[in-house]
A and B are shown apart, each in its own frame.
Chain A
Amino acid sequence: MRGIVVLSALAAATPAAAQSVREYSAVRQQQGEPTLPVQVDYVAGALTLASAPPGTLYRFVLTYDEDRFAPLAETLRDGTLRLGTTALGRGGVRVASARATPQAATIALSPTADVDLAVRLDAADATLDLGGLRLSRVSLSAGTSRTAIMVGRANAIRCTDATLEAGAGELRAIGLGNARCDRVTLHGGAGRVTLDFSGPWTGRMTVTAQMKVGELVLRFPRKVGVRLAMDTFLATFAPTGLASSDGGKTWTSPGLAQAAGRLEVTIESSIGGVRVEWID
């Protein structure tokens, strides 16, 4: 009887089929292009974005599951470079074999062209190392991704606008002072967002943050003068190191008038929490 059971189990078993993973790369040498508008659409997997060696306009290396995704590396009619992946109707992540077939992409962009960067992520684990890039504008839609933006070096040009949209994932933006953006706009969802404004401060930055349910952590350098306007509804606020003179609507840091760099922050928060931390 036991033998019959074993034989039945063996007969019922089917061999596992191999999954089809492919590697795709696209490289372009720089030929004096002054600007580089880039749109990154990435559905799922790990993504790393950094600056390329001099002489390279862009380099894109992708390992992907060809049954579910297709690579994107094309120049649109308006000159925008589009990189990333697109789902083939059966998008998503193979959870059972995610370790065996990690979808991963590496993007390197020119350090000498003015980059207008728009990144749209769905369910990715992204690290955007923007230090060393000449950023003229940044836009990020993070969906349910876990995203880390790091600006380790000062932007060589002035960035006009940085728009960050965080859905239900986690977003950390470290070194926003290095980005040298005039305006930073945050649309937070249900996740946790950390905005770290460390970097060399000489100018003025306007930050508008709208948080719905998630938690917002603001890290200010002590040398920066901060003026923070709060509009909260059922949100907690820990104004560490800030003082208010109008009953909690506006908060300012000590030495605001003398500070070389200045941050004007406006926060609208529905449910959740806002926390202020200071960094030396």
Chain B
Amino acid sequence: MRASSAIAGRLIGAVLLLVAPGRLAADVTPSSIIRDVWERLQQVGADSARLSSTKPAPRAIEGGSGAITLDLTDVAHPISLEHHVRDAVTRPDAELRIAVPDGQARLGDYRIGADDNLKGHLLVVRGDVTVAGRLDGNLVTWQGDVIMQPGAVITGDVLALGGEVRTLGGEITGAARTLSAPLATGAVDAPLSMGARIARALAGVTGVFLMLFLVGAGLVLFARGPLEIVSDTVRHSFARAFVVGLLGQVLLLPTFGMLVVGLVLSVAGILLLPFVVVVFALLLLASVVGGVVAMAHAMGETLTRRQMARGAAISPNAFRYVALGLGSVALLWLVWAVFGWVPSAGPIMQGAAIIVSWLLGSIGFGAALLSRGGLREHFAGRVVPPELLTDEYLWATPRFGVPAIRRPDKDATPRSGTPRFPDLDR
């Protein structure tokens, strides 16, 4: 009867909590209401189970040989104490052996009468403690409540693990602490199964490279000239592009810092600061993504030309170049996605994929910097420097020894308009 009334009270309390005005209207959604009701019902169910479960018959828990010692001198750290108590009470009730230095342990409900004066610490397992008299020491309960009656005195701390401290009167000179049982609430992602992990990794890799291909296709369609210049810069100034890309990464933050400081010091430039920050970020993003696409273009072009040299009948076009280059890089990541779960080998594959991607990205970034975003052909191998010109280009037209052809006579022009060449006719 008492249990059912308590449950009813808790249900009413749950309903009152739900309709309490403390929550903002904006926070209340149908899903939140359902979740709250479910949590309250779970809590009520747990309390009901605890109340209706048969409590063990009250008795003292003996110490002696094989007993686990629980020191209740300091109960200010309930987490560690809870671990120790849990370890001690895992045995069946009949086999419980707990020793409490300067105190005692009991199983089931326990009452300290109004005339009782108990010395030492007290541990009560799976039972409520009703205190009407005096306890000189700390009191700890495991899955039980502490009920303080008027006139009761506890000259120490109280800790209820999985229970409550109900004060109807009396005095606790120390602190009264409660630590609830874990409440299952909310939902977080559980560790994924191997299949799910592989599927997720494959989806991630496919998504990223598909996105890069779409960006590349856009560049081919709308900025083919600059893309090919950056791509040619990669092919013709490979090492230079890598060094520039590396330096670019190193100098990125200092450059940004100097830019910001310069604008701030110029006072008037402060107004431009937000604009410059956004533009800087966009330029950086464009350089990196464009560089990566151009790098893929260069790789794809090289691979395609090799295939054609071997006699393959394929169509050389920029879309194929980009797709082939990105696919080559994606292969590394796909291998990691499938076999990344293998101990030791998985991180190595991931590391290799990261390093290769970084190297290619650095080269592409450097090429983008070198070619000023595809506007400068100097490093793209399209302008032949004079020192690379062979003698063939240096041959001068001879001024002597070559007879000049005679002009045709005006009169010799036939009506049909065909010029006549007297020397040849002769």
Contacts and interface: CB of A to CB of B under 8 A. Distances in A.
B355 to A, nearest CB: 28
Contacts of A66: 182
Interface in A48-90: 66, 70-71, 73-75
Q: Could you tell me the dominant secondary structure of chain B's interface residues? A: mixed
Interface string B270-285: 1000000000000000
A77 to B, nearest CB: 12
Contacts of B187: 16-19, 97, 100
Interface in B74-130: 76-79
Nearest to B172: A29
B186 A25 contact: no
B50 interface: no
Given A19-B187, A74-B76, A101-B185, A31 B173 contact: yes
B9 to A, nearest CB: 18
A65 to B, nearest CB: 9
A100 B176 contact: no
Interface in B374-407: none
A73 B183 contact: no
B175 interface: yes
A12 B193 contact: yes
B35 to A, nearest CB: 7
A8, A16, A25, A70 pick with most chain B CB within 10 angstroms: A25
B73 interface: no
A145 B187 CA distance: 26
A70 B79 contact: yes
Interface string B56-88: 000000000000000000001111000000000
Contacts of B76: 73-75
B196 A14 contact: yes
A94 B77 CA distance: 25
Contacts of B178: 23-25
B151 interface: no
Interface string A5-23: 0001001111111111111
B186 A21 contact: yes
A23 B183 contact: yes
A271 interface: yes
Which of under 10, 10 to 19, 20 to 34, or 35 or more describes the interface residues of A? 35 or more
B195 interface: yes
A102 to B, nearest CB: 9
A96 interface: yes
A246 B185 CA distance: 63
A27 interface: yes
B193 A23 contact: no
Contacts of A18: 184-187
Interface in B315-352: none
Interface string B159-177: 0000001000001111111
A99 to B, nearest CB: 8
A73 B196 contact: no
A24 B179 contact: yes
A234 interface: yes
A28 interface: yes
B78, B174, B188 pick with most chain A CB within 10 angstroms: B188
Contact of A13 (B175, B176, B182, B196): B196
B186 A100 contact: yes
B180 interface: yes
A31 B175 CA distance: 12
B111 to A, nearest CB: 22
A15 B191 CA distance: 9
Contact of A28 (B174, B184, B188): B174
B267 A11 contact: no
Contacts of B174: 28
Contacts of B32: 99
Contacts of A73: 76, 175, 177
Contacts of A234: 264, 267, 270
A23 B180 contact: yes
Shortest 10 CB-CB distances between A and B: which pairs? A100-B186, A18-B184, A16-B187, A17-B190, A12-B196, A23-B180, A101-B186, A20-B182, A74-B76, A19-B186
Interface of A: 8, 11-29, 31, 66, 70-71, 73-75, 94, 96-97, 99-101, 234, 271
Given A16-B190, A73-B177, 12 more contacts: A16-B188, A17-B190, A19-B184, A19-B188, A21-B183, A23-B179, A27-B176, A28-B175, A73-B175, A96-B189, A97-B186, A234-B270
22 contacts: A11-B195, A12-B199, A14-B191, A14-B193, A16-B189, A17-B188, A20-B182, A21-B182, A21-B183, A23-B178, A24-B78, A25-B177, A26-B176, A26-B177, A28-B176, A71-B79, A73-B175, A73-B177, A74-B76, A97-B188, A234-B267, A271-B264
